[in-house]
Structures are given as C-alpha cells and as structure tokens.
Structure 1
Amino acid sequence: MKIFTDAHGNKVEFSPVWNAFGDANHVLALCRFENSWVLTDHTRRGLEFPGGKREKGETVEEAVNREIYEETGGITGALLFLGQYKVYSPRGAFIKSIYFAELDDIVRKEDYLETNGPVLMDQLPENLKDDERFSFIMKDQIVPLSLNVLTILKKEHRADS
C-alpha cells in the first residue's frame, strides 16, 4: 500500500488489491485505442482519464464502461483491474477503483456531457505535474502507480503465455 497527500492536501491510500478499501463509489479508467492513450478534455479541469461516480444499482465495471462512453465515445473491450484508492477528504472519504481499458472503437457523439470529448495522445508527458493542460487528477501519484501495476501485469501475462 502507498500513502501520499494529493493536490488538495488530502491523505490518499493506494492499493493494487481488489476491494482493498471496500465497495468503490467512483471509477477511473486508463484507456488505450490503437496505440494511443485516450483522455477526455474536462471543461473545468483539463485533460484527464475518463471516470466519475458510480450510479445507483450499477456495478463498478458498468460504471467504468458508461463513464468511458459518456466522456469519450469509447466502446470498451476487456477491462483489467489495476487498483483502488481511498481519499480522506474533509467532505467525507471516498473510494475509487482504477481499471485499464483497451477500447474496441471510438464513436462520434453529439454530447460528451461535462467534457469536450476524447483526446488521443501517443504518450503521456514525462512530468504531468508541470503540464497545465492536465487536470489535478493526473498530477498526484495515482496515474504513475496505476501505470506501474499495468506494466507488472503485462509482464506477468507475457511470462504466462
């Protein structure tokens, strides 16, 4: 488990273990499509991976698929669980599950809700913290920790093949 402080001064705990903190009420999806990272351009926060709140009656996986589609038009293929984190905010703690999604397609939509739609990037900048185009969500340790888990899982998969 990793513990750090986010951009808002909140304590954050990260774990690659399934349901380490219980049922997640938020989701985050690191997405790829045709060798590019798929982000969304949030109208207030800037570039970030798709994600959001889980709706009543929805599974975590359904929430991931819905958020990806709503914010990017992405049609999800397989999902891979990367981890979970808990943020201890003064407004109350919340838990977010993180997935990797390889998209099968991206469809053009009329409305991407609170975002301006998908943004494809061949690679992420080396130092997201200093890049003002990116949301605060991208600037703490969650993305690097999640990418590290993804690298480990891909290596394990190749070793098993």
Structure 2
Amino acid sequence: MLEFNDVNGGRVELTFGDNHLGMEARHVLVVLKYKGKWLLTRHSIRGIEFPGGKAEEGESIEEAAIREMMEETGVTITDLVKVAEYVVHSDSTFCKAVFTGKVTQIDEQPTLHETEGAMWLTSDELDQSEELSFHMKGTGMEIIRKRVEDHEA
C-alpha cells in the first residue's frame, strides 16, 4: 500500500492487491488506453479527467464503471480489470475502484451526462495539458497510469 497527500492536501491510501483499506468502494474511475491514446473526458467545471463516478443503488462497481463510461464518453467497454483501489481521507472520506477494460464500441454521437464526451490524448498530450482536473494531478495518477500501461503490454 502507498500513502501520499493529493494536490489538495488530503491523505490518500492506494492499493493494488486485495482491498485492505477497510472501506467498500462505491466510486469508480476508468483509466483506459486504446490504440496508443488515453480515453478522457472534459467535465464542465473540473476540466479534463478520466471517466468515473458513483455506483447507483443496487449497482455493482463493475456495472457503475461500464455505465459511467458510456454516459460520459459514449464508449462501451467489456473485460473489466480492477487495477487499484484508493481511499481519499477528507470531510467526506470515500473509496474508489480503478478499472481498465477493452473497448468494444465507440458511439460517435452519444447522449452525454455531465461531460463534453470522449477525448483521445497521447501520453505527451496528456502530460502537457494545462486543462487537467485536480483529480489528474499528483503521484497517485502517475502510478495508476503506469499500472494500466503495464497491464496493456
């Protein structure tokens, strides 16, 4: 397990094995690279970030990851693999499961929720973007991206 502070000063615990964080994940993040590009979206307030959100009542975190991906980017994924889980300690502490998967369909004109749709960026474009959400900055995201790239290989 790794511990560090995020860009807002919150303590984060990040794990890549079984969840020993003492909290069930009810939030999801999908970090996916397809044909050499990262799949991101632009949130109207926060900026560019990986798709994700909260599981709805009665929904598994896997189902939430698939739904959030479709709602925010128009991309359908299958073959989910849990890459990590992390807990952010703040006023409203939460646990988030991080997934990657396989792209099976891309809807070029999706009905979107909360975002401006799919953005496909190379690693260099992502690293150089000045529009990144605060969620995308810091040690944790660098480590997670590396794990997803290693999974791809």
TM-score scaled by structure 1? 0.85
User: 5 Å matches for 1:1-161?
Assistant: 1-21=1-21, 22-90=23-91, 92-125=92-125, 127=127, 131-154=129-152
Q: How far apart, in 2, do the equivalents of 1:59 and 1:152 lie?
A: 26
Asked whether the 8 Å contact 1:10–1:87 carries over to 2, the reply is: yes
Q: How far apart, in 2, do the equivalents of 1:126 and 1:95 lie?
A: 25
Q: How far apart, in 2, do the equivalents of 1:126 and 1:68 lie?
A: 19
Q: How many residues align?
A: 152
Q: How far apart, in 1, do the equivalents of 2:33 and 2:152 lie?
A: 14
Partner of 1:158: none
Asked whether the 8 Å contact 1:16–1:149 carries over to 2, the reply is: no
Kindly report structure 1 stretches of 4+ aligned residues shifted beyond 6 Å.
none
Which runs of no fewer than 5 residues in structure 2 stay unpaired? none
Structure 2: which amino acid aligns with 1:143? M
Structure 1: which amino acid aligns with 2:148? L
Aligned CA RMSD, in angstroms, stands at 1.9
TM-score scaled by structure 2? 0.89
Q: How far apart, in 1, do the equivalents of 2:149 and 2:39 lie?
A: 17
| 1:152–1:36 CA distance, 2 compared to 1 (3 A) | closer
Q: How far apart, in 2, do the equivalents of 1:89 and 1:108 lie?
A: 37
1:12 aligns to what SS in structure 2? strand
2:67 aligns to what SS in structure 1? helix
| 1:124–1:58 CA distance, 2 compared to 1 (3 A) | farther
